[in-house]
Structure 1
Amino acid sequence: MSGKVAIVTGSNKGIGYAIVRGLCKKFDGLVYLTSRDVERGKKAVADLEKEGLHPSFHQLDITDNKSIETFRDFIKEKHGGIDILVNNAAIAFTADAPEPAGVQAEQTIAVNYFSVLNTCEKLFPLIRNGGRVVNISSVMGHLRNIPSVELKNRFKDPNLTIPELSELMRQYIEAAKQGTHAPEWGNSSYAVSKVGLTALTMIQQRMLNDRDIKVNAVHPGYVDTDMTSHKGPLTIDEGAVAPLFLALEADDSVKGQYVWRDKQIISWDGPTPTPY
């Protein structure tokens, strides 16, 4: 085994679990399955060991700054760096969730955007030159989900900075709390969070170009998971196909892109292919 390291956040179940499974089969290095709940994470590792696979486990709660720092320090001391980082951890409210729009917006953006951003800021200094980052976005992360043309233009501004993007996320939360969000932002806090993550991907790529690090966002498909209330037609292993492609097989020229479940690069503000 080489000294290479791959990390998948939120990977004790669903697509993240399948990505760990695929990495264990194809990646010449150590694969870390992480989860905020230690017992669930250890059970997931034990289940994969029954398949003859051998991921390592470490607790990681991306909403807990201390947890991120503890994990970062562990990886730095034990391995010295990271070669693949898959940002998979996320939350989604169900369509019939009773929480007010403002609550859904604040909690969803906190996890799916700000916590991912914080995790990246802590871990990116450890990513080795030539490394790959895969941000798990969604069909909901396509710009078509933002009704406002002005907002779309701000999101895809090639000079957009992380502070400016974070301010956009805060403006959305405030609009949701005021109940004025729908005309410009739409009615899905999950969509806004994934649009934010996709925009972040493109900014991160610009920032990391000089380190030969590839950062891409991917729509894994509509998968049968807890997050989709098990309505998706795809298996978790089918949902892992495109993320694994970006982590392991994509040409080095694929960077700062929005990639579809069939491994094709698509325009972030153009038409979306079907099926999803």
Structure 2
Amino acid sequence: MSTKVAVVTGANKGIGFAIVRGLCKRFEGAVYLTSRSAERGAAAVAALEREGLRPRYHQLDITDTLSLETFRDHIKKNYDGIDILINNAGILFKSSSKEPLSVQAEQTLFVNYFSLVSSCDILFPILKNGARVINISSSFGHLSNIPSVELRNRLKDENLTVAELSVLMRQYVDAVKQGTQAAEWGNSSYAVSKVGVTALTNIQQRILNSRDIKVNSVYPGYVATDMSSFEGPLTPDEGAAAPLYLALDAPDTIKGKYVWYTKEIVNWDGIMPED
């Protein structure tokens, strides 16, 4: 019987680290903690080993095509494919950031959206039939964060393609550079990037239906991590609960959904629940 494989990106700290911990406790197979920094990744693995857990490690920078291809080739060489893929890696510029808004927009969309697209382009071919993919979104990823009705309708269009969605995401970056983004897109690059993640999830599910692969996006809650300046009321382990539910426990009928940290399915283009 072949070894099952679970992969978590951006997993050396915060929610990603907690997801790896939860998988190591329950998933019967190889659990890969991946991170951009090999040094920080090794430290994270050592911390889990001190808890008696046995994650495996591989360096993975989702913004680097060569890194993604190297990791893909490692999995292909050693396993039959991936059973669980949790796309957790992402960035957030804090309100105190000094970088120009145009730089923040370009970098946020590059990491949170475009690098996710690249990751999936490279790793989806080695997903096993029946695999589960969890894209970490946010409450900012709810469609109500986009002011323009026309844009909201475009983003939820069931015929929207990845290529067309990517054009929209580039249009946002261009609008920020021109200072014209507020009326249609709002002023949060993080929100636009996570709306992009949620929209991408919906498209991916349509594409992968024929392989019985379940793709869902999830808001893990307002978690106390360095990304939130440790202001969130939830612990990382609490933030890992909904992603772990989708990875391990959710019925196969839950696919192409936007899931809240309470494990409830939320209407992406309806009223956003209170946090």
For Structure 1 versus Structure 2, the TM-score category normalised by the shorter chain is over 0.9
Q: The residue matched to 1:243 in structure 2 has which SS?
A: helix
Inter-partner Cα distance in structure 1 for 2:56 and 2:159: 39
Aligned-pair identity in percent equals 68
Q: The residue matched to 2:104 in structure 1 has which SS?
A: helix
Alignment correspondent of 1:6: 6
Q: Which residue identity is paired with 2:66? A: K
Aligned CA-pair RMSD: 0.9
Alignment correspondent of 1:263: 263
Q: TM-score, normalised by structure 2?
A: 0.99
Inter-partner Cα distance in structure 2 for 1:111 and 1:254: 27
Alignment correspondent of 2:224: 224
Alignment correspondent of 1:58: 58
Q: TM-score, normalised by structure 1?
A: 0.98
Inter-partner Cα distance in structure 1 for 2:224 and 2:183: 30
Tell me the alpha carbon deviations over residues 99-138 of structure 1, each in whole angstroms, 9 at most, x when there is no partner.
Answer: 1111111000000000011000100010001100000000
Alignment correspondent of 1:136: 136
Inter-partner Cα distance in structure 2 for 1:232 and 1:187: 22
Q: The residue matched to 2:157 in structure 1 has which SS?
A: coil
Q: Which residue identity is paired with 1:48? A: L
Q: Which residue identity is paired with 2:256? A: G
Alignment correspondent of 1:147: 147
Inter-partner Cα distance in structure 2 for 1:18 and 1:220: 11
Q: The residue matched to 2:231 in structure 1 has which SS?
A: coil
Alignment correspondent of 1:272: 272
Inter-partner Cα distance in structure 2 for 1:19 and 1:53: 13
Consecutive unaligned residues of structure 2, counting only runs of 5 or more, are none
Alignment correspondent of 2:189: 189
Shift of 1:80: 2.2
Inter-partner Cα distance in structure 2 for 1:64 and 1:80: 24
Tell me the alpha carbon deviations over residues 63-91 of structure 1, each in whole angstroms, 9 at most, x when there is no partner.
Answer: 01100000000001111200000000000
Inter-partner Cα distance in structure 2 for 1:272 and 1:245: 21
Would you say 1:173 and 2:196 are equivalent positions?
Answer: no
8 Å CA contact 1:218–1:243 kept in 2: the answer is yes
8 Å CA contact 1:2–1:28 kept in 2: the answer is no
Alignment correspondent of 2:45: 45
Alignment correspondent of 2:30: 30
8 Å CA contact 2:80–2:128 kept in 1: the answer is no
8 Å CA contact 2:15–2:237 kept in 1: the answer is yes
8 Å CA contact 1:2–1:29 kept in 2: the answer is no
Consecutive unaligned residues of structure 1, counting only runs of 5 or more, are none
Would you say 1:203 and 2:203 are equivalent positions?
Answer: yes
Alignment correspondent of 1:67: 67
Q: Which residue identity is paired with 2:42? A: K
Inter-partner Cα distance in structure 2 for 1:78 and 1:258: 33
Shift of 1:2: 6.0
Tell me the alpha carbon deviations over residues 216-271 of structure 1, each in whole angstroms, 9 at most, x when there is no partner.
Answer: 00000000011111111100000000000000000000000000000000100111
Tell me the alpha carbon deviations over residues 133-189 of structure 1, each in whole angstroms, 9 at most, x when there is no partner.
Answer: 000000000011100000000000011000100000000000000111011101100
Inter-partner Cα distance in structure 1 for 2:263 and 2:130: 20
Inter-partner Cα distance in structure 2 for 1:230 and 1:269: 29
Inter-partner Cα distance in structure 2 for 1:78 and 1:2: 10
Inter-partner Cα distance in structure 2 for 1:224 and 1:76: 36
Segments ≥4 residues shifted beyond 6 Å:
none
